[in-house]
Amino acid sequence: MKFMATKSPTPPVAPKVQPPQRDDGGSVVLERRTQKVQPPQMYQVVMLNDDYTPMEFVVVVIQEFFGKDRETATQIMLKIHLDGKAVCGVYSKDVAASKVDQVREAAREAGHPLQALSEPVE
């Protein structure tokens, strides 16, 4: 499905510039202040343990959606199994939400109750 924009894009906001200051010689001096930008809030994707999803399925999901090798995926799966949950990766908010959706969709298609969620990194 394609969507069309209903209104024109707004122009970007220009950085604030100090008003012109005059020195003794009558010339104009503009001072540009750099803006400090905070890095984006990161989110961790957490998979939760359940008693029904096969361990091998969890390993395959971790390998496929989080780019882990088999050994690392197995270690994460065991942590999920033993601790009840484990972090599979840390991403920006949108990427983490996409990863959660991918995991839930794969689990739903396979008929497993595997759950994942994203939470802010503290």
Q: What is the CATH number of the domain that holds 68?
A: 3.30.1390.10
Is residue 68, in this structure, part of any structural domain at all? yes
38 has pLDDT over 70: yes
Is 92 strand, coil or helix? strand
Domain count, the chain: 1
E-assigned strand segments in 1-114: 21-22, 28-29, 42-48, 85-92
- Model pLDDT, residue 70: 97
CB of 107 closer than 8 Å to CB of 33 = no
Question: Which two structure tokens, joined as six digits, stand for 5?
Answer: 């924009």
pLDDT exceeds 80 at position 24? no
The residues that bridge with 117 in the sheet, in sequence order, are: 46
Rounded (10°) angle between helices 70-83 and 55-66? 130
Question: What range defines the domain where residue 69 resides?
Answer: 42-120
